Amino acid sequence: MRHPRTRELLDYLDSQREALRIAFEKVPPALRERVPAPGCWSAAGVIEHLAMVEDGVNSRLKQRIQEACREGLGPELATDPVLPSLTLDHLFDRSTRFAAREAVCPTGLPSGAAWSALKRAGDAVRETLMAGDGLALGTLTIPHPRFGAQSAYYFFAFVGAHERRHAAQLDEIADKLSRNG
C-alpha cells in the first residue's frame, strides 16, 4: 500500500497528464508540427519541451533521494495532503511568460516522437516517486533556478503543474491554428 502523499502525487500526475493528452489531441495531427505564430512553439515543440524538463527534474530528484537514503533518510510521518501546502498557482497564470533555458527548448522532434519521449520521462518521474514511497521527501530540498530551494514533493507536483500550464498553451495553439487554417 502506498503512502497517502505518494498516492496523492501519483493521482495528481495522472490527472494532469490526461488533461495534457486531451489538449494535445485537440490539435489536428497534420498541424502538430506547425508553429501557430512567430516566436511560438508548435504543439510538438511543447511536448518535447515537457519531456526535456521532466527528464531534468527526474534526474535531480532521483539523485537527491539516493543521496538522502545513503545518509539515512527516515520515514514520512505526515499523512495530511501535501498539494495544498505547495505554492504552484504562479505556474497556471499564462499571462506571465517564462523564457525557457536553451537546454529545454524544442529541437524539432516530430509529434509522435515527442509524445513518446514525454511518456518515457513521465514514467521515470513516477518510478522515482514510487522508489521514494514512504520516505520523508518533504525534508529534502533541491534548488530551483527561478523559485529557490523547494522540497522534493514540490518538484513532483511541479511536473504535473507544468503539464497543466502547457495544456493551456496547447489549447491556445489549437485555437490559433483553427482560426488561421
Per-residue cell: 110: 516530430
* Residue 85 confidence (pLDDT): 94
CATH code for the structural domain at 4-28+39-180: 1.20.120
Q: How many CA atoms lie within 13 A of 136 on its CB side?
A: 10
Sign of CA dihedral 65, 67, 158, 123: negative
Which residues neighbour 68 within 8 Å (Cβ) at sequence distance 6 or greater? 135, 139, 140
Neighbours of 165 (CB within 10 A): 22
Residues 179 and 103: beta-carbon distance below 8 Å = no
Q: Which of 176, 164, 168, 3 is nearest to 75 (CA)?
A: 3
Residues 157 and 9: beta-carbon distance below 8 Å = yes
Sign of CA dihedral 65, 68, 72, 77: negative
Backbone conformation region of residue 93, classed left if phi is above 0, alpha if psi is from -120 to 50, else beta: beta
Predicted confidence (pLDDT) per residue in 124-152, tens digit: 999 999 999 999 999 999 988 777 889 99
**Per-residue confidence at 181, pLDDT binned at 50, 70, 90?**
low
Q: 74 to each of 68, 135, 140, how far by Cα in Å?
A: 9, 6, 11
Q: pTM of the prediction? A: 0.94
Predicted confidence (pLDDT) per residue in 115-128, tens digit: 999 999 999 999 99
* Residue 100 confidence (pLDDT): 82
Predicted confidence (pLDDT) per residue in 22-36, tens digit: 999 999 999 999 999
The rounded mean pLDDT for the chain is 94
Predicted confidence (pLDDT) per residue in 38-97, tens digit: 989 999 999 999 999 999 999 999 999 999 999 999 999 999 999 999 988 888 887 777
